[in-house]
Amino acid sequence: MPVENKHFRTIWEEKGGRIFILDQTRLPFHEVTKELKTLDDACRAIADMEVRGAGLIGVTAGYGMYIAGREAAERMTATDTFAFNRYINEAGGKLRSTRPTAVNLAYAVDRQLLAISCCERVEDKVAALHQVAKDIHEADTDCCKRIGENGLTIIKMALANKGGKEPLNIMTHCNAGALAFSAYGSATAPIYAADAEGIDVHVWVSETRPRNQGGLTAWEMRKYRIPHTVIADNEAGHLMQHGMVDLIIVGTDRTTRTGDVANKIGTYLKAVAAKDNGVPFFVALPSTTFDWNLRDGMDIPIEQRNPGEVRYVTGMTKDEWSVDTVCLYDEKSPCANYAFDVTPARLVTGLITERGVCDANEEAILRLFPERRIEK
């Protein structure tokens, strides 16, 4: 495995509890860092996708709650715990509303609310918020590392199935890489593990309209010198039909206890094509991305984002080498922008988690996570 994000950091803390992020809206053309000084800064960073990806959204939400705790402590007396708790609860609501599909966000908020419920003094509550934020950050890194180790077995099996002939061609969608977490990524963690063992891999990077998160994956692959090729989203089926894809690994923003997977829009179509062409389709996720309260993927709330993300595209101009935004469609033509779709468990070959690999069904999932069984 590579050193944790040796070429970049997604979120980090500096002296005095100052929290910084890598602004991913400026990638792949510019590497710009931002400080999250206020709760509103944290909410805006998540909503505007300056930070994105299931794990990183959760980590940012954890730090956002800590920042809110500092704000609350500055605005009220040290003994007014009722007002402090009310402020933090409202902060949690603001953070939850930024990206409703991402379950890691709600998980981080809930952990922080539980942490302050065990403290009596305001200063202790702030300290608890800080510690839990750091714990969430550390756990995210550890989970992704173990996902990589467990996913490596899948890559070795796929390589064996093609007679050991390298390179192994892996397709991914969106960016479930190190940029989407605090380190390693979920879908990319097995790729990094394979590369570290000397396995020759090539990654098909789906551009992932309309936000083009494939550009982030390509940027990441280039940083780690992993051979890769960017493709238009609609090329995926053609590549599978012609035997050019050996394995697909994607991430997820929310997965039900029965194995239905919500991921970036376009994932479902790749899963359908994979099923038709006999290409293994795996989903990599930390356990915090399971929604243990949901059984049916159709009940997952699907975020609808600004239609302008479809109407406009941002890129580097050919002549002036400056970043510009242009309109693609007539203003009178309506645009829709569903951010996620749901892939039914029946189309998923398996789930790669920090505890191991399992089939995408409730019984198999619960064998890995027996504490989540519901007593009848």
- Please tell me the predicted confidence (pLDDT) of residue 317: 87
State which of 71, 106, 140 marks the end of a domain. 140
According to the model, what pLDDT value does residue 286 have?
94
pLDDT value, residue 250: 98
Provide the H-helix boundaries in 204-354. Answer: 214-223, 236-241, 267-277, 308-311
Angstrom distance (rounded) from CA 79 to CA 73: 10
- Together in a domain, 334 and 286: yes
Which pLDDT does position 155 carry in this prediction? 98
The CA-atom distances, in angstroms, between 322 and each of 24, 207, 214, 245, 316 are: 17, 21, 20, 35, 5
Minimum mean pLDDT among 3-17, 208-222, 268-282, 355-369: which range? 3-17
The phi, psi pair for 255, rounded to 5°, reads -130, 135
User: Based on the structure, what is the number of domains in the chain?
Assistant: 2
**Domain assignment present for 5:** no
Asked if the structure places residue 18 within a domain, the reply is: yes
State yes or no: is 246 an active-site residue.
no
* pLDDT at 74 exceeding the cut of 70: yes
Quick one: 67 and 177 in the same domain? no
Percent of the chain having pLDDT more than 90?
86
Tell me: do 177 and 199 sit in the same domain. yes
- Sign, Cα dihedral of 69, 97, 145, 15: negative
Residue-level pLDDT at 5? 53
The CATH number of whichever domain residue 320 belongs to comes to: 3.40.50.10470
Backbone angles phi, psi at 65, to 5 degrees: -65, -40
- What is each CA distance from 26 to 21, 31, 84, 92, 215, in whole angstroms? 12, 7, 35, 27, 11
| Pairing between β-strand 350-353 and β-strand 340-343 as defined by DSSP bridges | unpaired
Are residues 183 and 129 part of one domain?
A: no
Look at residue 180 and tell me if it is in a domain.
yes
Q: What angle do CA 243, 53, 110 make, to 5 degrees?
A: 135
Sorting pLDDT into bands at 50, 70 and 90, what band is 3?
A: very low
CB burial of 154-192 (b: ≥16 within 10 Å; e: otherwise) equals bbbebbeeeeeeeebbbbbbbbbbbbbbbbbbbbbbbbb
* The pLDDT of residue 6: 57
- Please tell me whether residues 183 and 327 are part of one structural domain: yes
Q: Of 100-109, 204-213, 228-237, which range is least confident?
A: 100-109
pLDDT at 262: 98
Residue at which a domain ends, from 140, 160, 177: 140
DSSP three-state, residue 18: strand
**Do 126 and 162 sit in the same domain of this protein?**
no
What pLDDT shows up at residue 246? 98
| Domain of residue 88, CATH code | 1.20.120.420
The range of the structural domain enclosing residue 197 comes to 148-372
Mean pLDDT of 50-76: 93
Question: Do 201 and 168 touch, CB atoms closer than 8 A?
Answer: yes
Indicate whether 282 pLDDT > 80. yes
Of 246, 253, 260, 341, which is the active-site residue?
253
Q: Measured between alpha carbons, how far is 208 from 367 in angstroms, rounded to an integer? A: 33
pLDDT for 233: 97
216-232: pLDDT as tens digits: 999 999 999 999 999 99
pLDDT greater than 90 at residue 42? yes
pLDDT at 202 exceeding the cut of 50 = yes
Helix (H, G, I), strand (E, B) or coil at 34: strand
Instruction: Quote the CA–CA distance of 174 and 336 in Å, as a whole number.
Output: 18
Is pLDDT above 60 for 187? yes
Specify whether 155 is located in the same domain as 268: yes
Regarding whether 314 and 169 lie in a shared domain, the answer is yes
Average pLDDT, the chain: 94
pLDDT score recorded for residue 376:
45
Of 87, 117, 140, the residue at which a domain comes to its end is: 140
Identify which of 42-56, 103-117, 341-355 has the greatest average pLDDT.
341-355
Is 256 a member of any domain? yes
Q: What's the pLDDT band for 10 if we cut at 50, 70, 90? A: very high
Q: pLDDT at residue 316 above 90?
A: no
Q: Which of 272, 248, 208, 269 is nearest to 350 (CA)?
A: 248
- Position 2 pLDDT exceeds 70: no
- Rounded Cα distance between 190 and 175, Å, is 14
